[in-house]
């Protein structure tokens, strides 16, 4: 979705969200309404003593994905960008055409001694996005907004696949999970103006409606992992 189209949808999003909040008396968190986190993974990565590990997630507009993971203790860096396509077409305008194969993604660098990969997956499925929405998240529609876990190691693949199977068996979500689990073949940094976008533009109506509730949900569901974040 281009910036112009996204801006045009902001008013519609605000109106729909306001209707839902007033009419149903519930807090909307981008497709998922819950006050408690989903069950933790039964299988997680073993501790290896490593200080840094990289994970890549796609779950709708990368503004919201990044602003959540920035506030998780143990996460040391995040970058908004593109995965799933080639380097030559990894620009916002081209990706928004929905013909490049990319998904808006966020690279998360974390300390496994402080927060495990399994815990990041739990946050991804609990707070970051709705994993039952196919090729969209909320008002953003297209394959660039699909739900994807781009694994960077066989162990990540194993943990992610097992967790999805666990959630499906437990019927945690009312509809099937559509999240893809695929190897990371390339991550391409997004444009500078996309980095820390939610933090730099807190009064943007899109951020207020779609992303601020995610931050509140993270703080409510994972208080022991929540940390304040201020962009540099």
Which tens digits make up the pLDDT trace of 101-113? 999 999 999 999 9
What 3 state SS string does the chain have? CCHHHHHHHHHHHHHHHHHHHHHHCCCCECCECCCCCCCCCCCCCCCCCCCCEEEEEEECCHHHHHHHHCCECCEEEEEEEEECCCHHHCCHHHHCCCCCCCEEEEEEEECCCCCCHHHHHHHHHHHHCCCCCCCEECCEECHHHCEEEEECCHHHHHHHHHHHHHHHHCCCCCCCCCCEEEECCCEEECCHHHCCHHHHCCCCHHHHHHHHHHHHHHHHHCCCCECCCCCC
Active site residue 61: yes
Q: Domains, the chain, ranges and CATH?
A: 3-38+50-221 (3.30.1060.10)
Average pLDDT in the chain: 88
Which tens digits make up the pLDDT trace of 32-69? 456 778 999 999 999 999 999 999 999 999 999 999 99
> Is residue 125's pLDDT more than 90?
yes
pLDDT band at 1 (very low <50, low <70, confident <90, very high): very low
Catalytic residue among 13, 61, 127, 167: 61
């Amino acid at each position: 979705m281009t910036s112009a189209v996204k801006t045009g949808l902001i008013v519609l999003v605000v109106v729909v969200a306001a209707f839902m909040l007033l009419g149903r008396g519930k807090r909307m968190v981008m497709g998922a309404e819950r006050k408690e986190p989903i069950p933790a993974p039964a299988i997680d990565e073993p501790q290896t003593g490593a200080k840094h590990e990289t994970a890549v997630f796609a779950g709708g507009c990368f503004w919201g994905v990044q602003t959540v993971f920035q506030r998780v203790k143990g996460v040391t860096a995040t970058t908004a960008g593109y995965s799933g396509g080639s380097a030559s077409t990894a620009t916002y305008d081209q990706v928004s055409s929905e013909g490049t194969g990319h998904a808006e993604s966020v690279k998360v660098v974390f300390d496994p001694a402080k927060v495990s990969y399994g815990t990041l997956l739990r946050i991804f499925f609990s707070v970051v996005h709705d994993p039952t929405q196919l090729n969209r998240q909320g008002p953003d529609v297209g394959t660039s907004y699909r739900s994807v876990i781009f694994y960077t190691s066989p162990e990540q693949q194993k943990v992610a696949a097992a967790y999805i199977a666990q959630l499906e068996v437990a019927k945690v979500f009312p509809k099937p999970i559509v999240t893809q689990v695929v190897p990371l073949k390339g991550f391409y940094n997004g444009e500078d103006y996309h980095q820390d976008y939610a933090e730099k533009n807190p009064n943007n109506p899109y951020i207020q409606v779609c992303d601020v509730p995610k931050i509140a949900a993270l703080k409510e569901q994972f208080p022991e992992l929540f940390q304040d974040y201020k962009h540099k």
